[in-house]
Structure 1
Amino acid sequence: AWQIKDKKVLVVGGGEVAAGRIFNCLNADASVTVVCPASGLNAEVAFRVAQKQVTHVDRVFEPSDLEGAEMVLVAIDDPVASTVIWKLCKEKKIPANIADVPPECDFYFGSVHRDGPLQIMVSTNGKGPRLAASIRRFIAGKLPRNAGNAVESIGLLRTKLRKVAPNAEDGPKRMRWMSKVSDTYKW
């Protein structure tokens, strides 16, 4: 998982795919700017703009939009414009994901199941996003109901253990003990 908390993410586009990207970025506490004419915003993106969850630039993309961006997500129906944006990102060494164009992606979005602190991601490396979602649903259906709570409990235990045995030399012993607890956890 890429840590994008407080990072400046630029989303070019305002349709359904952009809405999904925006949702994921906001869940990761990123600072999101959406560049898209207001007429191109779908209901979900328009809602996020109205709620001031994202910054909205009401026009088509301009190269100056890349200033300060730490990640760029392009979700527009214009392959030529998408490629131009991708090339600009490459020049500026800004990681980019161009929706539905795997060769123009520095990273892919997986299909994610969340249950509290538990996150399970399935990726097809851009080859079959809908299949990834199907596989994710299958895996999520096999999980015990308390899996997220179990992760939370283990995390609390781990924090307490670090307080009890805080020294660097305690690290290997702490890790062995936590491994035993995790390996013997009963569902």
Structure 2
Amino acid sequence: MDVSSPRRFGPAPTLGGVLSLAALLLSGCVSSPSARPEAPQPVGETSYRERATAGMQHYQLALGEISAGATPLLHPAPVYPPALLAARLPPQEVEALLVVDTEGKVNDVRIADEAQADPQQRLFAQAVRTAAEQWTFEPLRISRWAADANGNPHEVDSEARPFSLHYVFHFAWKDGKPVTDASAPPDAGR
């Protein structure tokens, strides 16, 4: 055998065979097109602030009485109304009075000017109401203290009382996303 001649094993490949082999090898590299991702749905964030109002009544504590509690334990923020997301409205505020029972549960939400609200404002008010009705607070407790013969203070008795707090809920857009907030001064309420 001549060393300069190429060695062949079997018949020479045809062009169709080469193309078929190439197609088979390339088919292993192809992946099926992925489903087109859905556009993300806009979502809102919320917050709030407690607000002291003129004429707000406070419990009058007698000598030896202290109050404790009336702090939010569970306070989910309202959801920006989905029906208004596309409208990208200017900032909105909703004032609400939360009436809390002796167990710390919100049993009434009073929205300021709700009767005169337009349909959009009513959607914001409903978002506030839905969230606020889920709030729970540490019950407000009024305790009476006295001192024994040695001057050591001790609690004589304690009772839970209902209370109410004003909040302002704020709905706005920030960085292309709806934002809601609510807040209040720390000394407000009771």
Q: Report the TM-score range of the alignment, normalised by the length of the smaller protein.
A: under 0.3
Which of the two has greater strand per residue? 2
Point out the structure with the larger helix share. Answer: 1
Larger Rg: 2
TM-score (norm 1): 0.17
